[in-house]
């Protein structure tokens, strides 16, 4: 029992414990084992037994020291390593290339708009030419009607026939429509639109209004202004402050109602 107590105590002399970890003494493993065997040999114990015991204890201590020196890998490190092997993120397309694409599309749309504008201008020019030709034809026809109308004012309709609005009307007569007269009442009309090229002029019986000044859109609602029903082929139109009765085929002035408008 005394020897076993010595065995239990002796190995403890070979180590020192500090802060929960095993630290080897500052001498080689074989020297430790030899010294322990010699010491116990002097006490009469079996030296081989102590040598083997000391070697075994030192081996276990070395394994424990190595385990403490190498801590287990951290979970964060494992994640970082996994992240290193992850697929690289997709690269976003360069902003410069996107801007170039937008610029090209904008230029393309601008070119298209120019083409449309050019076509529109060409159509407008063509329409203006057609309108000019129509005015020329109308002037030529008015000149023909005026020659035929000499001595027969207000009868221009005879070369064109009756209009639907001529139903119930009578032929023009100087006895029915005086050259000048007043209606006794004046009217104010906002926003009246005169024909293009219009100018103020005092018109009288036998004059001829310019072509376009007596187009259908300028006919007056004669009943609203105290005017008599116009004769066949004739209409009232506004010329400044006056209402003028004209032959719609020749433009000849047949009667003037003075001061109807203010």
Q: Token pair for residue 152?
A: 């027969």
Interstrand relation of 253-258 and 180-182 (parallel, antiparallel or unpaired)? parallel
d(CA 27, CA 46): 23
Chunk the chain into consecutive blocks of 10 residues (it has 262) and report each block's average pLDDT, rounded to whole numbers.
Answer: 42 41 44 53 56 67 59 54 58 73 89 90 84 67 58 83 95 93 91 88 93 92 95 96 95 96 94
Find the distance separating the first CA and the last CA of the chain, reported in whole Å.
147
Q: Token pair for residue 98?
A: 């996107």
Sign of the torsion formed by the C-alpha atoms of 145, 147, 152 and 153? positive
Identify the pLDDT of residue 190. 87
Beta-bridge mates of residue 52: none
Identify the pLDDT of residue 22. 40
d(CA 215, CA 212): 5
What torsion, rounded to 10 degrees, do the Cα atoms 64, 67, 69, 71 define? Answer: -150
C-alpha separations of 81 from 70, 85, 200 in Å = 18, 7, 96
Burial label for 65, CB within 10 Å (0-12, 13-18, 19+), is middle
Identify the pLDDT of residue 26. 42
d(CA 162, CA 118): 44
C-alpha separations of 194 from 68, 98, 198, 199 in Å = 109, 55, 6, 9
- Could you count the other beta carbons within 10 Å of the beta carbon of residue 37? 20
DSSP string, 39-98: HHHHTT--HHHHHHHHHHHHHHHHHHHHHHHSPPPPHHHHHHHHHHHSPPPPPPPPHHHH
């Amino acid at each position: 029992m005394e020897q076993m107590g010595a065995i239990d105590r002796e190995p403890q002399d070979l180590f020192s414990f500090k802060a929960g970890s095993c630290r080897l003494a500052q001498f080689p493993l074989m020297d430790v084992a030899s010294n322990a065997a010699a010491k116990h040999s002097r006490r009469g114990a079996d030296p081989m037994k102590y040598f083997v015991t000391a070697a075994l204890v030192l081996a276990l201590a070395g394994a424990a020291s190595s385990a403490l020196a190498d801590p287990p890998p951290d979970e964060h490190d494992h994640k970082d390593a996994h992240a290193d092997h992850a697929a690289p993120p997709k690269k976003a397309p360069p902003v410069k290339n996107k801007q170039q694409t937008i610029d090209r599309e904008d230029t393309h749309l601008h070119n298209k708009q120019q083409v449309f504008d050019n076509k529109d201008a060409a159509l407008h020019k063509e329409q203006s030419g057609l309108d000019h030709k129509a005015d020329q034809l109308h002037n030529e026809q008015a000149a023909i009607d005026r020659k035929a109308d000499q001595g027969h004012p207000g009868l221009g309709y005879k070369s064109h026939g009756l209009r639907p609005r001529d139903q119930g009307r009578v032929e023009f007569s100087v006895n029915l429509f005086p050259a000048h007269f007043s209606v006794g009442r004046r009217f104010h009309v906002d926003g009246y639109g005169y024909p293009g090229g219009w100018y103020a002029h005092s018109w009288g019986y036998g004059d001829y209004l310019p072509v376009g000044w007596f187009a259908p859109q300028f006919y007056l609602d004669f009943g609203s202004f105290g005017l008599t029903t116009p004769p066949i082929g004739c209409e009232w139109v506004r010329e400044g402050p006056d209402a003028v009765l004209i032959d719609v085929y020749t433009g000849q002035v047949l009667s003037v109602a003075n001061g109807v408008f203010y």
